[in-house]
Amino acid sequence: MGHRKYSAPRRGSLAYLPRGRATHWSPRIRFWPRYEGPPKLLAFAGFKAGTTHSTIVDNRQGSLTYGKEVTFPVTVVETPPLVVSGLRFYEMWNGALRSVGEVWASDTQRDLGRAIKLPEKFNSDAAWEKLEPLKERVREVRAIVSSQPRLAKTGKKEPGKKLLGTEVKVTDVFKEGGEVDVVAITKGKGIQGPVKRWGIKKLKHKSRKTVRGVGSIGPWHPHFVMYSVPRPGQMGFAQRTEYNKQILRLSDNPADINPQGGFLHYGPIKTQYALLRGTVPGPAKRLVALRYPSRGIVEAEPPKLEQVSLASKQGA
């Protein structure tokens, strides 16, 4: 037993306690980065299709592999156009944002009414007239957008007025070579024990009562179990944010990315898509939010894609 490693009381982070299930399978963006420039959308939504691998010529100055071909995993996110169904206007009041009004498109999607309750007989022209005297007080405008999974088969006032009721494409929000933050709900794994959930070491095979558990859940006093003790419970299906994912390609030609037989548990890409470097949380078909980066913007030219694997994923 001299080779056994004893220093593995816990390998998971305590930063996300309590580890419970997310309330909904669609992510909720709780933080928006500061943005200075002409008004535009700061996020976009897509559906995770799957992963493959790609070979590119590294164009990052100072990298050890600069100018060389490197291969790494890439994630394909299908991004059908979003429909701007409404706009909500906010003013600053007592140090916080307060809603001063909203405007809805005259012809909203028929599918949107199945997800949320829409206002009946909304007069858009009257709403714009009501907001006209409040234009100087408006500090922030938020768009109420809806995705179109049916397609996938899975100043401040004027730009918003032109945007209302129209379709927005991913190329209108992001560009190739840029970076985005990815917000998604991870793959759910149900109730799991402390070995799988926290990465602790198993006890020796002659241990009494249990092997896949902690040696002790704590002392006699204090007379309670500390929160930091690895315990069984829910694993996965939690919201996570991964920062600065580089956009390698934005395209509306599915033939350039569809593998033989389509993506597992998803099928073929049918609309626009975004090719992201690295992995993305969640299983196939999960809604993924692409947000304007919050940890600095790195202006870079898109790397040269030498090859994207289109081999069949069946049996991979």
pLDDT tens for each residue of 70-115 = 999 999 999 999 888 888 899 999 989 898 888 888 776 666 777 7
Q: Is the pLDDT of residue 271 over 60?
A: yes
What is the predicted pLDDT for the residue at 34? 87
Torsion of CA 221, 222, 228, 230, to 10 degrees: 40
What is the amino acid identity at position 56? I
Task: Quote the mean pLDDT of the chain.
Answer: 88
DSSP, res 153? T
What phi and psi values does residue 233 have, to the nearest 5 degrees? 165, -165
What is the predicted pLDDT for the residue at 1? 46
Domains of the chain with CATH codes: 41-79+176-188+236-311 (2.40.30.10), 80-168 (3.30.1430.10)
- Of all residues in the chain, the percent with pLDDT exceeding 70 is 92
pLDDT tens for each residue of 103-134 = 888 776 666 777 777 777 777 778 888 888 88
How far apart are alpha carbons 257 and 245 in whole angstroms?
Answer: 19
pLDDT mean over 153-161: 55
Residues in contact with 315: Cβ distance below 8 Å, sequence separation at least 6, in sequence order:
none
Determine which helix (DSSP H) or strand (DSSP E) holds 212, and give its type and residue range.
Answer: none
- Model pTM? 0.87
Q: DSSP secondary structure string, 5-16?
A: ----S--S-STT
What is the predicted pLDDT for the residue at 258? 94
How far apart are alpha carbons 183 and 25 in whole angstroms?
Answer: 11
How far apart are alpha carbons 54 and 171 in whole angstroms?
Answer: 21
- CA distances for 210 relative to 83, 214, 246, angstroms: 55, 9, 45
**Tokens standing for residue 234:** 């829910």
What is the predicted pLDDT for the residue at 46? 95
